[in-house]
Structure 1
Amino acid sequence: MAVAAGLEVRPRGERHVRAQPPLRQLAYYSQFLYRAIFAGLLFFYVSALGLAPGFLDRVGIAIAMVIYILAVVLIMVLAGGQRLTPRLQRAIIGIDLCAMVIGVPHDPLPGMPTLLVFYLSYADLGLRNQYRHYVEALLAGAVGGALMLFLRAHYTAGGLYPADLWQALMLTIIVLHGLQIFSGRDRALKLARATQERLQLALDSPGLGAWSTSDPLVELKVDGHIQSVLGLDGERFSDRMADYISCMHEEDRPRVVERYTRFVKFGGSDYEDEYRVLRPNGEVRYISSRGKAERGHLGQAVSIAGIVWDLTDQRRQQERMARMEERYRVATSSARIAVWVWHCQEDRLEYDDAISSFLPPGQQPQALKFSLVLKLVHPEDREGFSRRIHAALEGTQENYFDEVRIRLPDGRIRVIQCRATILRDERGRALRMAGANWDATRLAQAREELERSNRELDDFTYTASHDLKEPLRGIASFAQYLQQDYAERLDDEGRLMIQKIRDQARRMETLIAELLHISRMSRGGMAREDTDLNAVLHDILESLDFSLKEKAVDLRIPRPLPRAHCDRIRVGELFRNLITNAIKYNDKTDRWIEIGCEVINLDRVFYVRDNGIGIKPEHHARVFSLFERLHKRDAYGGGTGVGLTIVQKIVQLHGGRIWIESRPGEGTTFHFTLPERNLHEQEQDARA
């Protein structure tokens, strides 16, 4: 089916082999034909003129010429219509030289024209092959020329003529000039070969191939890389433009053919297009084609050379990026998140559309600088915000978090949180901040409400605990008074009941004290500082030394603990409660406790491990509940069930987490983390 003038699409798989033009065939076989003519003319020349015999008579010369012609025919057969190899070139040099040595001494005329023919014949050897082959042919010619001069001097009647020497001199000059020409040509060939190798190295890049044509509407020669892109690895390409066009996607084919045809007939020197090709297996590939044309005097392209590269991976990456950008746009739009990049050294802010709602009407992106952003911040927060952000830029930190109030163009006050990453150069200087803002007004309101509720709850707990203490002290005092002054009037059951009243009062007082302790823990501040945990652990173990020795506990600390940014007193209480539990809940004969720290997923995880009674998996969460006990009140030395609640509270105040690994009878491991600087503290600093 014709798709454009001069271009026809042949069904894929049909191949076409072009025959060599007649003139090219004639030029090839002429190198053998003129040698046969030379041999015949030489024999005719010697026989017709009845030349004086040399070292061969006319019969010998005839036999030699026949052998020469047969040798030429043999070389032609061995060549098989292909370019002569260097080995066949050397063979033809040898038989030509023998023919001249036979013929020249029988020529009675001055001069040696055959020597010139010999030189001209083998100048072609250097053109077809390499410079060293040309030099090799000249050396053989020099030996042959010297031999012919010697034979001519001894076997011709007139001996050597002056013309013989003159022609030998001229031939020497021509040969030397030829050496100069061919040496320069050899250097040019080496340079061209090096350039070609560099070009081939570039073309060997994945997905890159070369094409050319000397008949732009009919012929197209492609390399193996393009065949690979077309999915034709290992198949022979027909070099027909129509076959290449048949590989194009049917939706792109008319446009590409029309554009290419217009370029060939009327276009400029450069061609460029992008289109899809369809592989035999149905896979679609995207390619880009570029070329440069050489034009004739009528303006039509007579030859074009170009390259093709596979854009499929790039296109797919662009499509993935477009999908990701669309998902990002939808996500940020739904969550009302504004993304920005601040070029610190240039004081230039780039932002997306979402941040425009925070700006005054008509504000242009190129005019947005930090000073304008600072004006949007609430006056009460402005100084602190500026101080914090400049401190972050001048420091070494990579992450930044802040929370400020801003005044919108309509006058409303909103709370904005921002999180950013600081990108620095090799000297640590801040180059850019990339981050995001979001409206945290509702979150701030909920946080304030939660903090207010917690304060009220803490106040209630604190007040109630104090108010309950006085009646308890009265009950305990009256029970003690009854026991001391009226014990004789009571029977055994009465005395037992009074003792139970005193025990329950003491227990209630202990529970109230624990509640007050937890309340103070929430109400009080955190005195975090750089702490040597080994020193903290040493003090705790000294205070528990009697219990450890009494229970014969083997204490194991595999390696020193790292330093931590924490509240020294509260972390000491954390270790005390965990170690005390490990001592208490162990019924083994050989008891041991291991305390250490390990890195898990880039987090420092501390642990206290024992070989005690263990905890059932379904009870792991219950152990941290307030007043929760898994055993009878008096079992394992009793207790209030508050210790692990305090442990969990301490870990949470540090921004960490705590969890259990345990099985009944196999012991228990308490894991907990102490982050260097938790999000809660960063938010507190941002609001400070």
Structure 2
Amino acid sequence: MAPTLFQVDGLLACAFQRVGLIVTECTESLEELLRPLQPTGLIGLSLFDIVDSQSIPVLEEALLSNNASTKAACLLKTVPPRAVTFGFHPYPGAPDSHQIVVLQDAIEHSPRTQKLEESLDILQDQKERLADLSSLMVHDLRNALQILVSNLDLVEKDFFEGKHSKVDARLRKLTDSSLSMSGILDEITKYLRFEIGEYPMEMTDLNEVVLACANQASTHPQKQVTIVRKTPFPTLICERQLVHELFANLIGNAVKYTKTSEVHIEIGLHQSSDPHPVFFIRDNGVGIHPDDLSRVFQPFQRADRNKLNTHGTGMGMAIAKKIVERHQGRIWLDSAPNQGTTVRFSLGPLP
């Protein structure tokens, strides 16, 4: 269960269980430092056992703090006593009853310690976001499953009563619900892959990326899709696979949320001296009500696009935002009901 973070050479750190403050894991460096105090190792000792008595009130105050990460200046029971700063951090992947304490000399801020603290903060942030996402996913899957189960019961009832026309309608609902569940699982897998995955940075000609995405969107079976590239596009050093997904996602949204059979989309680059290029994708779709704009980029949140009957999981714009932020950019949109939508986003910087 010991995290690889503990393998940093020379780092002083240990994990402890808050009930009793019992040390459960420890780096070799810390054990070696305190070996005169505990020749058999620190596992099983309390944090209070390894600090000087005058440090106990300071340690107690830090442990009672409600902050996610806090610090306390203490003296270790070394000879002579050694002044250190205790940094307390949540233990990613462990129960809330566990924490990690990182020790650093009070007069010297170790780059290794700083790097570990930053890594712990990132892991804790990911843990919280994934917990929120899991709750949303369970909610949507439960709703789809309830529709599935209730319609199965009604199909059986209508079949034995000879109401075959109703059976056909309910089977279509079953299919829709199954597709919805499958879509949710696909999108959450994609989102998690973008959240924690690593992709190679490549020199990418965005003209090729946009052309490939536009060609794919133009083959829609029920709509005539016209995509106009208003400007040439630059070459960027980026995660090519993700940027392709970004353009495909936004262009696909523009097609999906257009009521008419004729879809007109404009794609271009705002001309400016900013090293971070700003792109736009403009459509003639149904638009978005101002009340819905604030939640467009939240996972599993679908804007009420004029009650347009479309299938979707509400993950598309959340994924787009995740990709943009991975490339040090930002994304926003301008929209109004029945006036289309313009999505703008920055990527970069230019090489």
TM-score category (smaller protein): 0.5 to 0.7
8 Å contact 1:623–1:644 — kept in the other structure?
Answer: yes
Map of 2:272 onto structure 1: 600
Choose which of 112, 117, 123 in structure 2 pairs with 1:451.
123
Q: Deviations over 1:464-483 (max 9, x none)?
A: 979x99xx99x969977996
Quote the offset at 1:502 in angstroms.
5.1
Quote the offset at 1:574 in angstroms.
1.0
Is 1:585 the counterpart of 2:257 in the alignment?
A: yes
* Whole-Å separation in 2 of the counterparts to 1:619 and 1:598: 26
Choose which of 510, 514, 533 in structure 1 pairs with 2:183.
510
Map of 2:295 onto structure 1: 622
Q: What SS does the aligned partner of 2:333 have?
A: strand
- Which one has more relative contact order, counting CA pairs under 8 Å at least 6 apart? 2
Map of 1:575 onto structure 2: 247
* Whole-Å separation in 1 of the counterparts to 2:227 and 2:271: 21
Map of 2:230 onto structure 1: 558
* Whole-Å separation in 1 of the counterparts to 2:340 and 2:133: 35
* Whole-Å separation in 1 of the counterparts to 2:132 and 2:337: 39
* Whole-Å separation in 2 of the counterparts to 1:630 and 1:655: 26
* Whole-Å separation in 2 of the counterparts to 1:590 and 1:669: 17
* Whole-Å separation in 1 of the counterparts to 2:234 and 2:336: 28
Q: Deviations over 1:392-439 (max 9, x none)?
A: xxxxxxxxxxxxxxx86x6644449xxxxxxxxxxxxxxxxxxxxxxx
Map of 1:525 onto structure 2: 198
The alpha-carbon distance between structure 1 residues 569 and 480, as it changes in their structure 2 partners (threshold 3 A), is farther
Q: Match for 1:537: what amino acid?
A: V
Is 1:489 the counterpart of 2:160 in the alignment?
A: yes
Unpaired segments ≥5 residues, structure 1: 1-406, 417-439, 679-688
Q: Match for 1:561: what amino acid?
A: F
Q: Deviations over 1:136-185 (max 9, x none)?
A: xxxxxxxxxxxxxxxxxxxxxxxxxxxxxxxxxxxxxxxxxxxxxxxxxx
Q: What SS does the aligned partner of 2:344 have?
A: strand
Q: What SS does the aligned partner of 1:637 have?
A: coil
Matches within 5 A, 1:457-468: 458=130
Quote the offset at 1:463 in angstroms.
12
* Whole-Å separation in 2 of the counterparts to 1:526 and 1:638: 29
The alpha-carbon distance between structure 1 residues 600 and 614, as it changes in their structure 2 partners (threshold 3 A), is farther
The alpha-carbon distance between structure 1 residues 655 and 526, as it changes in their structure 2 partners (threshold 3 A), is farther
Map of 2:337 onto structure 1: 664
Q: Deviations over 1:284-327 (max 9, x none)?
A: xxxxxxxxxxxxxxxxxxxxxxxxxxxxxxxxxxxxxxxxxxxx
Q: Structure 1 length normalisation: TM-score?
A: 0.30
Q: Match for 2:302: what amino acid?
A: R
Choose which of 594, 600, 613 in structure 1 pairs with 2:286.
613
Structure (1/2) with the larger helix percentage:
1
Q: What SS does the aligned partner of 1:620 have?
A: helix
Matches within 5 A, 1:529-540: 529-540=202-213
The alpha-carbon distance between structure 1 residues 552 and 459, as it changes in their structure 2 partners (threshold 3 A), is same
- Following TM superposition, the consecutive aligned residue runs of length 4 or more in structure 1 with deviations greater than 6 angstroms are 459-466, 475-482
The alpha-carbon distance between structure 1 residues 648 and 604, as it changes in their structure 2 partners (threshold 3 A), is same
Q: What SS does the aligned partner of 1:613 have?
A: coil
Is 1:546 the counterpart of 2:219 in the alignment?
A: yes
* Whole-Å separation in 1 of the counterparts to 2:154 and 2:289: 45
* Whole-Å separation in 1 of the counterparts to 2:347 and 2:136: 33
8 Å contact 1:480–1:502 — kept in the other structure?
Answer: no
* Whole-Å separation in 1 of the counterparts to 2:136 and 2:250: 29
8 Å contact 1:594–1:610 — kept in the other structure?
Answer: yes
8 Å contact 2:285–2:339 — kept in the other structure?
Answer: yes
Quote the offset at 1:648 in angstroms.
1.0
Aligned residues: CA RMSD = 4.4
The alpha-carbon distance between structure 1 residues 503 and 633, as it changes in their structure 2 partners (threshold 3 A), is farther
Matches within 5 A, 1:217-296: none
Quote the offset at 1:588 in angstroms.
5.5
Q: Match for 2:117: what amino acid?
A: Q
Matches within 5 A, 1:316-395: none
* Whole-Å separation in 2 of the counterparts to 1:645 and 1:631: 16
Matches within 5 A, 1:193-232: none
Quote the offset at 1:647 in angstroms.
0.9
8 Å contact 2:288–2:305 — kept in the other structure?
Answer: no
Quote the offset at 1:645 in angstroms.
1.2
* Whole-Å separation in 1 of the counterparts to 2:119 and 2:174: 44
8 Å contact 1:458–1:523 — kept in the other structure?
Answer: no
The alpha-carbon distance between structure 1 residues 414 and 491, as it changes in their structure 2 partners (threshold 3 A), is farther
The alpha-carbon distance between structure 1 residues 501 and 558, as it changes in their structure 2 partners (threshold 3 A), is closer
Q: Deviations over 1:256-295 (max 9, x none)?
A: xxxxxxxxxxxxxxxxxxxxxxxxxxxxxxxxxxxxxxxx
Q: Structure 2 length normalisation: TM-score?
A: 0.56
Q: What SS does the aligned partner of 2:177 have?
A: helix
Q: Deviations over 1:466-517 (max 9, x none)?
A: 9x99xx99x969977996x886414539835565455434323322332222
8 Å contact 1:462–1:519 — kept in the other structure?
Answer: no
8 Å contact 2:277–2:349 — kept in the other structure?
Answer: no
**Percent identity between the aligned chains?**
29
Map of 2:51 onto structure 1: none
